Amino acid sequence: MRWRHAALIVRSAILAFLIVLLELCCRAGFIDSLAVIPPSEMIASMVDQIRSGELNASIATTFSTIFIAFLLAVVLGTAIGALIHRWSRLRDVADPLLASYYSVPTFIFYPLLVALLGLGKAPLVVLGILSAAPAVVISTLSGLDSVAPVLMKLSRVHRLTPAQTLWWIVLPAALPHLFTGFKLALSYALIGVIAGEFILSGTGLGYAISYAYQSFDNRTMYGAMLFVLLVAVTANGILYVWEGRLARRRSRG
Amino acid sequence: MSGQAQVQLSDVVRRYGGPSGLQALGPVNLEIRSGEFFSIVGPSGCGKSTLLDVAAGLVAPTSGSVRFEGKELHGEVPDGIGVVFQEDASMPWLSVRDNVAFGLRTSGLPKKEVADRVDHAISFMGLAQFAGHYPAQLSGGMRQRVCIARTLVLRPRLILLDEPFGALDQQTRLLMGDELLRLWRETGATVLLITHALDEAAMLSDRVGVMSARPGRFIDMIDTKWPGDRDSRIVSDPKFGALTARLWSSLREESLKTMGRVA
């Protein structure tokens, strides 16, 4: 515990040092302000954009898209995972596909999705799901694999119904794996949606960054980038802490 | 009810993968009296665990019949049977208390009754100090106690134990044997114990059935004639040595068979 605490301090110190170094290099003119602006400027720009409300519409669009994509990825991924787990033949077919899935750059299908679904939320949601769902499928499979056979026997000894077995034994037993999948799914949905907006879209945070970039508006661009970064880190941090709490109970001796 | 056959296996055969599959067990005929402590020993892979699964109603016999208290079982576990497995079947996400209470989740008993039974089982198994702990914080022996307590709250009339102490060290096993005897005396339940430890069978049981190599059949049935109030101190009784020796002489040949050798 003490070492974990120390590691946290060291990690934060390194990060703080790099930020201060960047700040100094920018201020001293070692780095051209057309390339990178000082971190303090980024923060000021982010605060300005949030205060003025100019990002509000983008924030609402992007996060609702990410949320829908994440939710659908979790539902679809869990269902598909459970299905593949149930039928071993299906698994023989699907396993190599799942294993190699993330070597395919999903983004190359985005233009196709836009052509098929138009330039709205739909292609972005689909792109988010395509990025996120396979991670959920994979973690659902390993979660269901991890349920000890003896617990399934126990369910029969206690004459549990299939629903009771699912809620009382299978889900809690598989939860650590499922949670890893959900965490990955959130990150992948976020990446998928924002990258999609970046490539081709009329709204959203990705579009805002891309637009600022194309109009040489470095200050706005870095402010928006910082905002996306902070949200991503915070969302993941919350899940990380939550996961840690669940895991500690099970493993600490 | 004491003295009557509570468990009755008649010509039980179990094959893997349908009627033409590998024969794992039988034909076996067995009657266990109500309140009896019955153990089964046999070489590894002889179908001991299969026999337990059949007697519990977890699997149906390929042919023959299984009766519990006169009613025939068809591959489902009837009320009144508790099973303790060799593998750790505690649930790591539940505290000791919740693990024990799990046995009564579907019982529909009033909360007060559930709490009383859980408290009693926890203190009976010596877990009172650990009620709020999680299984990961306990030793293997303690976790097995949790599983036994979870069975106890159901007040089973027949307790089936499948090598419950197989993963424990010798000292812990002897002590757990004492606990098991105490439990058997105080609950009045029938006990069917599967074990590979000859000394365990010799020390704990009223009767010991010795099984052959696969497909498992009974090749010897030994009445130990121990008094009801026995405990692990009988290991110093000369009769204990004689019993263990007899078990081994019945088993030696069968064990050699499973190792692919001729006696």
**In chain A, domain spans:** 1-33, 37-251
Structure tokens that stand for A135 in this block: 């991670």
Query: Which one, of A107, A117, A93, A71, lies nearest residue A194 by Cα?
Result: A107
- CA of residue B83 relative to chain centroid, distance: 7
Classify B5-80+156-258 by CATH class: alpha beta
pLDDT score at A138:
94
Instruction: Name which of B76, B89, B93 is nearest A250 (Cβ-Cβ).
Output: B93
User: Residue A186: what pLDDT?
Assistant: 92
A48-93 pLDDT, tens per residue?
Answer: 999 998 888 889 999 999 999 999 999 999 999 999 998 888 888 9
Give the separation between CA A169 and CA A151, rounded to whole angstroms. Answer: 7
How far is the alpha carbon of B146 from chain A, nearest alpha carbon, in Å? 14
Residues shown for chain A: 253
Q: Which residues of A touch B77 (CB under 8 A)?
A: 156-157, 159
Q: Is B149 on the interface with A (CB under 8 A)?
A: no
Q: What is the number of CB-based contacts under 8 A between chain A and chain B? A: 60
To the nearest whole angstrom, how far is the Cα of A106 from the nearest Cα of chain B? 37
User: Residue A244 pLDDT > 90, yes or no?
Assistant: no
Distance from C-alpha of B189 to C-alpha of B2, rounded to nearest angstrom: 10
Percent of chain A with pLDDT over 70: 98
pLDDT in tens, A105-123: 888 888 888 889 888 889 9
How do residues B55-66 score in pLDDT, each as one tens digit? 898 888 888 888
Contact A159 B106 (CB under 8 A): yes
Query: b/e per residue, A123-134, with b = 16+ CB within 10 A?
Result: bbbbbbbbbbbb
Question: Chain-wide mean pLDDT for chain B?
Answer: 86
For the cut 70, the answer to whether the pLDDT of residue B263 exceeds it is no
Residue B3 has pLDDT above 60, yes or no: no
pLDDT at B2: 46
Q: What confidence tens digit (pLDDT) does each residue in A39-59 have?
A: 999 999 999 999 998 888 889
d(CA A189, CA A187): 6
Distance CA B149, CA B119 (A): 10
| R_g of chain A, CA atoms, integer Å | 22
Is the pLDDT score of B4 beyond 80? no
Q: What is the mean pLDDT of residues A137-148?
A: 92
Predicted confidence (pLDDT) at residue A125 exceeds the cutoff of 90 = yes
A174 vs B: CB within 8 A: no
Q: Does A247 touch chain B (CB under 8 A)?
A: no
Structure tokens at A243: 């996961």
Exposure string over B18-57, b if 16+ CB within 10 A, otherwise e: eeeeebbbbbbebebbbbbbbbbbbbeebbbbbbbbbbbb
Whether ipTM tops 0.90, in short, is: no
Q: Which residues lie below 8 Å from residue B146, measured CB to CB, with a gap of 6+?
A: B90, B96, B99, B100, B125, B127, B135, B138
At A142 the pLDDT is: 92
Residue A133: band (very low, low, confident or very high) from pLDDT cuts 50, 70, 90? very high
Q: What is the pLDDT of residue A1?
A: 62
Judged by a CB distance cut-off of 8 A, whether residue A151 touches chain B is yes
Question: A37-251 maps to which CATH number?
Answer: 1.10.3720.10
- In angstroms, rounded to a whole number, what is the distance separating the alpha carbons of residues B158 and B80? 6
Specify the range with the lowest mean pLDDT, choosing from A229-238, B11-20, B108-117: B11-20
Residue B45 token pair: 């892979």
> Across residues A172-189, what is the average pLDDT?
91
Contact B106 A173 (CB under 8 A): no
Taking residues A188-201, what's their average pLDDT? 89
Q: How far is CA B7 from CA A242, B3, B69, B70, in A?
A: 49, 11, 6, 8
**A245 close contact with B: CB closer than 8 A:** no
List chain B domain ranges. Answer: 5-80+156-258, 90-155
Max mean pLDDT range (A223-232, B20-29, B215-224): A223-232
pLDDT at residue B1, rounded to an integer: 40
Q: Which residues 200-239 of A are in CB contact (within 8 Å) with B?
A: none
- Say if B108 is an interface residue toward chain A (CB within 8 Å): no
Q: What is the pLDDT of residues B208-232, one digit of tens each?
A: 998 888 788 888 888 888 888 888 8
